[in-house]
A = this chain, B = another copy of it.
Amino acid sequence: MAKLTIRDIAALSGLSKSTVSLVLNNSPKVDPATRRHVLAVMRRNRYVPSFAATALAKGSTRLIGMVVPGLSWHMVASINLGVAAVTEQHGFDIILYTATNDRDYGSLIDRVLTSSMSSGLLVVSHEQPLEPLVQLHQEGMPVVLVNTIDADVALPSVTADNYDGARTAMDHLMQLGHERIACVQGLMRYRCCQDRYRAYLDALREAGIQPDPELTKPGDFVPEQIRARSRELFALPADQRPTAVFAQSDVTAYGVMTAAAEAGLRVPEDVSVLGFDDIESAAQIRPPLTTIQQPFVEMGKRAAELLLSEIGTNDDDPGTDAEPVGEKPSADLPRLVMPTSLIVRASCGPVPVTRSRRGRSQTTKA
């Protein structure tokens, strides 16, 4: 019952450790019959090579670190599903770092990365500084950012096309006849929120509509804040009130809907509400939320593939200090931007008839 080692397997199969090791590593140099025999012995004895010994000898592990900002987000769960699917396929396991605060994040950088515990790092959007990661990456550690929160960093990344998603959202709303469209923003220090807001503005302008600053409200992803700001929106005189609201996340949309209900407004009859993310409950709430779906699972997959390929190429040791690495022009960095999709459900409808031809104080230019 004591753990078997390669030596035991060697003895049991009447061969040397070397040969057993070659079998373990799928070397073509080993005789097929021998290989089969060894494999059988290993199976019969439920032999599994020591993870630590292999890692030490090979100088690398089949482990990738995944840094996530607390798992309460739908996003993280879905991304992980994608990541797990591909890492598993390649025999890699995931070390999960739930960095809920700055402390763990800081220690992580040293601990994980330098100890060569993981051969690569997947970092899901979080608020900590990325410079240490950039440096690590330049020193040869594979790193991929998923859904990064920051603007451009010199790191490979996979993100959703937030700008295009928001444009699609706005197009949908405008096709329904809406012109007085409000925007309840998320955390504007996040790149994704900036992109979504820029799209909101551009969509309006390109349709010849001058955005009304009063229709932009900061929600900051904080429920109370979202609700309070939405109330302001719905307290506007009837002819200034928005006929539609673009919420920068589904949860934000929930807050908007609550405020609408409190104001005695029906969704979508009196006001349309459109979200972003397509979290699980979006289809469950009343009315089901029309929203922009982010392809999180797919993003996770692509990110894992990217990371694994980086690890692959990095397999042959970079060698001496002599030749400087990390001079990569940032143009070389893979930057995947994944398309989003509009999920039409019931929270958006045509602009109310009584409003469709008048009261557009979101001044029309043309």
Q: Which residue numbers of A lie inside 8 Å of B, CB to CB?
A: 1-3, 46-53, 55-56, 61, 63, 66, 70-74, 76-78, 80-81, 84-85, 88, 93-98, 100, 104, 110-112, 114-117, 139, 223, 251, 254-255, 257-258, 261, 279-281, 283-286, 320-321
Contacts and interface: CB of A to CB of B under 8 A. Distances in A.
Given A284-B285, A286-B258, A50 B116 contact: yes
Given A2-B320, A55-B56, A72-B74, 7 more contacts: A1-B139, A52-B52, A52-B116, A70-B77, A70-B81, A251-B280, A285-B285
B81 A76 contact: no
A81 B98 CA distance: 7
A51 B116 contact: yes
Contacts of A46: 110, 114
Contacts of A56: 50, 52-53, 55-56
Contact of A77 (B52, B71, B84, B114): B71
B84 A96 contact: yes
Given A88-B104, A284-B258, A48 B115 contact: yes
Contact of A286 (B52, B53, B115, B286): B286
14 contacts: A2-B321, A49-B115, A52-B52, A71-B81, A72-B280, A76-B77, A77-B77, A80-B98, A95-B95, A251-B281, A281-B281, A281-B285, A285-B286, A286-B286
Contacts of A71: 71, 76-78, 80-81
A47 B52 CA distance: 20
A95 B60 CA distance: 16
| Max chain B C-beta neighbours (<10 A), residue from A63, A66, A84 | A84
A269 to B, nearest CB: 14
A24 to B, nearest CB: 12
A127 to B, nearest CB: 17
A96 B84 CA distance: 9
Contacts of A3: 114, 116
Contacts of A78: 71-72
In this complex, which of A63, A112, A283 has the most chain B Cβ atoms within 10 angstroms of its Cβ?
Answer: A63
A8 to B, nearest CB: 13
A72 B286 CA distance: 21
A119 to B, nearest CB: 11
A139 B2 CA distance: 10
Nearest to A258: B286
Contact of A96 (B50, B66, B286, B320): B66
A277 to B, nearest CB: 12
The 3 closest A-B pairs by CB, nearest first: A52-B55, A71-B77, A254-B284
Contacts of A80: 71, 96, 98
A48 B111 contact: yes
A68 to B, nearest CB: 9
Contacts of A255: 284
Given A96-B96, A285-B285, A114 B48 contact: yes
A230 to B, nearest CB: 13
A41 to B, nearest CB: 15
A201 to B, nearest CB: 27
